[in-house]
Amino acid sequence: MAGIYIHIPFCKQACHYCDFHFSTSLKYKDELLQALVKEIGLQKDYLDGETVETIYFGGGTPSLLGADEINLLTDRIAALHTVAADAEITLEANPDDLDKMKVLAYRQTAVNRLSVGVQSFFDEDLQWMNRVHRAVEAEAAIKRVQDAGFENITADLIYGYPLLTNEKWKYNLNKVFELDIPHVSSYSMTVEPRTALASFIHKKTQQEMDDTQSAEQFITLMDEMSAHGFEHYEISNFSKPGQYARHNSNYWKGVKYLGIGPSAHSFNGETRQWNVRNNAQYIRAIETGTVLAETEVLTETNRLNEYIMTSLRTMWGLDLGKLNGIAAASSDELLKAARPFFEKGWTEEKNNVIYLTRNGKLYADHIAAELFF
């Protein structure tokens, strides 16, 4: 089984915290769509004939595409790959794009999962982030897609930023529970270089993020999700039992995936490649039949560290047997390095699998880094 990711590099406006590749100009949208179609053909052998079980439209803002444009891309994939009958096909969407006509049109496409970029149910917070939509649109969009028959829905939320009091954070979470959303992806606000937020902080027009606040709100997130029957199956992801995001879960499990579009990444188990992060260069290269991408051949150490990093973040944990399958006796070295974390109660071992404890999840990145080979 394998996955395909399609990057749609367009947005109406730039969120202050975002460092993903996108353009706020739609001038070359048609040319880029044709380039995506052509790249799907150029890269048709990358997955070596494996069945595609997930397709994911990310961005940018994929909901700027109409149903016909979605069909153009999924039909091209279906013509060149074997797509599983029960494939999960996800579209990231902004609430302001999900009007009644577009939602009904999407129901006629192969898309069967919507990832809605809510971020907050407070207008002042959305304005601070420079989001296009408003809180009332987020709630209305969720209800609209549910009424149209979409059951597989996830909402994105952000915590750990100055405007978000603990009371407001609990309100956001309760609103998700009230709307009966089965999956939530929630991230601490991160200040990425070369973003507007980073510039504001550098100029001291915006205060820095507070790690203590972020940790407190992450604990609240874990507690509230557990109390409402959600499984914490990856550090930033929670779902009702069995309703995990299959596409993202496969990333963490090391399943092959092909990335289509400017800045998209691909992985086949042995190498990684990433496309050029420039729309014009991408289009020109694809028009000449060239995929302009850099490739990294993964060493044994690369593969060990990737497995450590991704597996520890999940509820399935780090299987020491799989680690030894990458490099003989590597589990002995890792157990030695992990001893301090066992003693602190941040990790635990069950049946030859290492898991992060509830407290350990607060230090996931630190623990993984300390266990790297």
pLDDT digits (tens, 9 = 90+) for 238-266: 999 999 999 999 999 999 999 999 999 99
* Percentage of the residues of the chain whose pLDDT score is greater than 70: 100
Span 212-240, pLDDT tens digits: 999 999 999 999 999 999 999 999 999 99
Out of 1.10.260.40, 3.40.50.12160, 3.80.30.20, 3.40.50.410, which CATH number does the structure's domain 2-252 have?
3.80.30.20
- State the number of CA atoms in the 13 A half-sphere of 191 facing the CB: 17
pLDDT of residue 107: 98
Is the predicted pLDDT of residue 328 greater than 90, yes or no?
no
Cβ–Cβ < 8 Å for 10, 26: yes
Class of domain 300-371 (CATH, top level): mainly alpha
Higher pLDDT, 328 or 234: 234
Span 133-188, pLDDT tens digits: 999 999 999 999 999 999 999 999 999 999 999 999 999 999 999 999 999 999 99
pLDDT of residue 11: 95
Is the predicted pLDDT of residue 338 greater than 90, yes or no?
yes
DSSP for 66-126 reads -HHHHHHHHHHHHHHS-EEEEEEEEEEE-GGG--HHHHHHHTTSS--EEEEEEE-S-HHHH
Span 97-115, pLDDT tens digits: 999 999 999 999 999 999 9
347-355: average pLDDT: 97
Q: Which tokens go with 370?
A: 């300390």
CATH 1.10.10.920 domain range(s) in the chain? 300-371
148 — phi, psi (to 5°)? -80, -10
pLDDT of residue 327: 86
Helix (H) or strand (E) holding 234: strand 231-234
275-279: average pLDDT: 97
* Percentage of the residues of the chain whose pLDDT score is greater than 90: 97
Confidence of residue 329 (pLDDT cuts 50, 70, 90): confident
Q: Which residues of 111-140 are buried (b: 16+ CB within 10 A; e: fewer)?
A: bbbbbbbbbbbbeebbebbebbbbbebbbb
Span 38-97, pLDDT tens digits: 999 999 999 999 999 999 999 999 999 999 999 999 999 999 999 999 999 999 999 999
CATH 3.80.30.20 domain range(s) in the chain? 2-252
Sheet bearing 237-239, strands edge to edge: 231-234, 237-239, 183-188, 153-159, 113-119, 83-93, 52-59, 2-8, 257-260, 265-267, 271-275, 293-297
Per the prediction, the chain carries an average pLDDT of 97
pLDDT of residue 93: 98
